[in-house]
Structure 1
Amino acid sequence: MSQSRRVTLRRRRLAVFGSLLVVLLGIGYLGATGLAPVPASSAEVRQPDNLTQPTAQPTWPSFGQGAIGAVGFTGVLASHGNQAPVPIASITKMITALVVLEARPLAAGEAGPAITFTDADIDLYYKSLAENGSVAPVVSGMVLSQREAFEVMLLPSANNYAASLAVWAYGSESEYLRAANAWLQSTGLTETIVADTSGISSNSVSSPANLVDIAKLVVANPVLAEIVAMPQAVLPTIGVVTNTNRLLGRAGVDGIKTGTTDVAGACLLFSTELTVGTETVTVVGVVLGGNTHSELNDAVSALIGSVTGGFQNVNLVAKGDSFGSYTTAWGQSAEAVAAEDASVLVWSDAAITGVTTARTVSLGQAGDSVGVVSFAAGDQQVSVPLVLDAPLTDPGAGWRFSHPGELTAG
């Protein structure tokens, strides 16, 4: 083969290999740009406005001390007067009821075990009578269910039945008092001390804040909540007993317990249900140190009426509200919108703050979760998912091939 032919063949081979290389490089380029992940887009987020409501102005009486709270709200919402522990009279019996139930649980709808009353219970009757305490009749050999004995203790506020139930549950009054004060400490009611079962002793004391927490425990117990709402009961041997709480049925009051001694004055631990928009809130409270129960009941009625407007059902977001936007490198856009409505029930001027967070997105369909807007209102936390309101689709081959530098490594 001549030298010139060999040169010609070499040139042809180089041309073929060069063309093949170009084809292979082209295929590689097309593959790399066609399959490479597209760049992610960060959301331009919008933070929700802080919200505040008007300050509530409860109407407190000119006498004594008190506090209000609500189920679902931590602690005290508002208070009046001296907040130190003071004598609480027969409100003490609600502690007796709660502690007896610790030893002898009773479920809703149950009568509980039968209790046979003896001469020892008659002695407790005369002891309470000598202390000038309120009493209900007792007969040796009489049998009441646990539920019925609770009704005698709580409705006519019978001191002797508070003592009888404590002895029945714990064996002696001294053992009951040890257990009761240990229970108060373990429950966090550290400003409450009981020196007896009925509250006739001025050494049975509590703070308004602790009494609000005790009221929440009572309304959370279906047996006690039902009993304290009863205007009266008909019992074996004893007959009709009437609730000492004359405020029942007024201002929505459905409990809880009166108390009266010379030292404590007229006292009322109360509960009521208020309607706020579409929600119902259970408000509990206490007013201590009244001169008469008539004066006290008028004061509590006025207080409840003034409290209603202090609750607000605040709309936080509506479904579809936008809290951010995405714009892709190839010109598509979508909003990060609330997936649902959300509201929160607040008391008074509790601050409501919100924070929006949203992740980066490359591609997505309408309805895909992309973040959350979270609200804090006092102790309450409300979170609403954020979703895309429109799809973010692949930019297509044309944009991919013309923007290789903007594609990310897989």
Structure 2
Amino acid sequence: MTRRHSPAVYRRRRIAVGALLLVLVMTATYFPVALLAPVPAAAAELTASEPLITPATALSTPAQGTSAIALPGEGDDPAGLVLGASGSTDPVPIASITKTVTALVVLDAMPITDGGQGPDLTMTDQDAAFLAQTIAVGGSWASVYPGQVLSERQVIEIMMLESANNYSLTLTTWAFGSVEAYLAAATTWLADRGLTGTTVVDTSGLDPGSRSTAHDLLVLGALATADPVLGAIVATASDTLPQLGQIDNTNDLLGTAGIDGVKTGTTDEAGYCLLFAAEVAAGDRLVQVVGVVLGAPTEQALQASVLALLQSAAGGFQTVQLATAGEVLGSYTTAWGDTADIVAAEDVRATVWSAVEATRSVDAEALESGASGTEVGTARFTVTGVSLDGPELTVPVELGDALDGADAGWRLANPGRLFG
């Protein structure tokens, strides 16, 4: 006889089967979805940093006269990046520094191939007359002999090294046909370069009407040292020329404290003057600076002022460490409790001058996991002030440790974190 079960038994069986089917469905759907579902990415927690501030440099400027010093070619100003200045900003007599303008204007009109000598000039009776004229007015001079043949470069050397006024007349008359034509060309040349504070009324600077500002002279010094011909000439201590023998540079500071140019000048109205250029150490590199001191009372005072200004400016350079490879800049902490540091991938240094402020910002992506060394973003260092490496430096940031992903246990135990 067949045994019949009660309705309650059937209900219990149906519930058990349904529960089993539900478990099977969940096993077949939830587990794979949970194990494969994206997990919440951890946001970077960045370490706060204080700005790095370097001390200001006190430039040693002369108590008398005018001075300025700059990094040529830096910044928007044609004078370069001016590090400091003192004294008058008005045009003042510049004596034989005027010959720097003469040389630049002639070389612009009659260029010499780098390493070459340029055309030959044969000295004439007119050049002998220039010598007599120069001696008569008490200007600086060098001997000249009619029939003597000198190259354009040699004439410029005599004018710049010996500071020979008569050779400035020889040079400009040869290049332009007359002194008047040269002065017109020089006026245009200065205007074209925005040197509105500079006026030349003669070729040598003996006339106190030949004037300039410290700012314009920084430009002229930079142009002179950047010119391959003139830059080499003004860095020459001495040379030997036909019929003249040895000629010596009037710049007695040449070779001292890295000085490699540019031009001396002395008159009663101008005082003792020097437009100078020098190579100085800035961190692990050498940089060119251009400076000027005008109106010193004596040659000794001029040289002392130039060296004090130059050395104080050079002492303002320093290399600062903005970040060190492996330095911790932040971290990640995942929802499942794993952590990893965010570190700088490389060292970051900047060579700066005087007072600067360097600030740091870090951009790092949100991350689920990654191996040690995985690049995760960029650190930026903004430098306000004089930086030879530019106003912004960057370095990649990476994981200092492995950031492990979520394991199966966490995934299955945290459906709300996965699907919430």
The question of a shared fold, defined as TM-score above 0.5 by the shorter chain, is answered with yes
Give yes or no for the alignment of 1:214 onto 2:220: yes
- Give the Cα–Cα distance (whole angstroms) in 2 for the partners of residues 81 and 63 of structure 1: 7
Candidates 383, 388, 394, aligned match of 2:393: 383
Name the residue aligned to 1:49. 50
Secondary structure of 2:360's partner? strand
Secondary structure of 1:210's partner? helix
Higher RCO (CA-CA < 8 Å; seq separation 6+): 1
Candidates 188, 200, 204, aligned match of 1:198: 204
Runs of 4+ in 1 over 6 A off after TM superposition: 21-25
Question: C-alpha deviations, 1:192-217, integer Å up to 9, x for none?
Answer: 23233322222222111222232233
Segment drifting more, 195-204 vs 68-77: 68-77
Listed as ranges, the gaps of 5+ residues in structure 1 are 1-11
Checking the alignment, whether the CA contact within 8 Å between 1:338 and 1:384 is kept in structure 2 is no
Question: How far is 1:91 from its partner?
Answer: 0.9
Counterpart AA for 2:385: G
Counterpart AA for 1:388: L
Segment drifting more, 224-233 vs 67-76: 67-76
Question: C-alpha deviations, 1:65-97, integer Å up to 9, x for none?
Answer: 111223565432122222222111111112222
Give yes or no for the alignment of 1:332 onto 2:338: yes
Question: C-alpha deviations, 1:237-281, integer Å up to 9, x for none?
Answer: 332211111222334433221001221111111223333553334
Checking the alignment, whether the CA contact within 8 Å between 1:255 and 1:270 is kept in structure 2 is yes
Pair 1:407–1:168, CA change in 2 (3 A)? farther
- Give the Cα–Cα distance (whole angstroms) in 2 for the partners of residues 208 and 127 of structure 1: 30
TM-score, length basis structure 2: 0.81
Question: How far is 1:369 from its partner?
Answer: 4.5
- Give the Cα–Cα distance (whole angstroms) in 1 for the partners of residues 119 and 48 of structure 2: 59
Checking the alignment, whether the CA contact within 8 Å between 1:46 and 1:356 is kept in structure 2 is no
RMSD: 3.3
Counterpart AA for 2:217: L
Candidates 152, 159, 172, aligned match of 2:158: 152
Alignment of 1:392-407 (within 5 A): 392-407=403-418
Alignment of 1:245-260 (within 5 A): 245-260=251-266
Pair 1:180–1:75, CA change in 2 (3 A)? farther
- Give the Cα–Cα distance (whole angstroms) in 2 for the partners of residues 185 and 30 of structure 1: 81
Name the residue aligned to 1:237. 243
Question: How far is 1:25 from its partner?
Answer: 7.2
Question: How far is 1:283 from its partner?
Answer: 3.3
- Give the Cα–Cα distance (whole angstroms) in 2 for the partners of residues 242 and 93 of structure 1: 16
Name the residue aligned to 1:297. 303
Name the residue aligned to 2:104. 98
Name the residue aligned to 1:182. 188
- Give the Cα–Cα distance (whole angstroms) in 2 for the partners of residues 85 and 365 of structure 1: 65
Counterpart AA for 2:202: D
Segment drifting more, 27-36 vs 102-111: 27-36
Question: How far is 1:393 from its partner?
Answer: 4.0
- Give the Cα–Cα distance (whole angstroms) in 1 for the partners of residues 239 and 292 of structure 2: 25
Name the residue aligned to 2:280. 274
Give yes or no for the alignment of 1:374 onto 2:385: no
Segment drifting more, 295-304 vs 75-84: 295-304
Counterpart AA for 2:105: V
Sequence identity (%): 44
Counterpart AA for 2:394: V
Checking the alignment, whether the CA contact within 8 Å between 1:40 and 1:360 is kept in structure 2 is no
Pair 1:371–1:408, CA change in 2 (3 A)? farther
Secondary structure of 1:77's partner? strand
Question: How far is 1:24 from its partner?
Answer: 7.3
Secondary structure of 2:291's partner? strand
Candidates 348, 357, 363, aligned match of 1:352: 357
Checking the alignment, whether the CA contact within 8 Å between 1:271 and 1:285 is kept in structure 2 is yes
Checking the alignment, whether the CA contact within 8 Å between 1:339 and 1:384 is kept in structure 2 is no
Secondary structure of 1:55's partner? coil
- Give the Cα–Cα distance (whole angstroms) in 2 for the partners of residues 210 and 269 of structure 1: 11
Candidates 130, 138, 145, aligned match of 2:144: 138
Name the residue aligned to 2:10. none
TM-score, length basis structure 1: 0.83
Pair 1:377–1:222, CA change in 2 (3 A)? farther
Question: How far is 1:35 from its partner?
Answer: 4.3
Question: C-alpha deviations, 1:117-149, integer Å up to 9, x for none?
Answer: 445544544444444322223344433223222
Question: C-alpha deviations, 1:314-355, integer Å up to 9, x for none?
Answer: 22222222222222223232223222223223332x222213
Listed as ranges, the gaps of 5+ residues in structure 2 are 1-13, 75-79
Pair 1:376–1:43, CA change in 2 (3 A)? same
Counterpart AA for 1:318: T
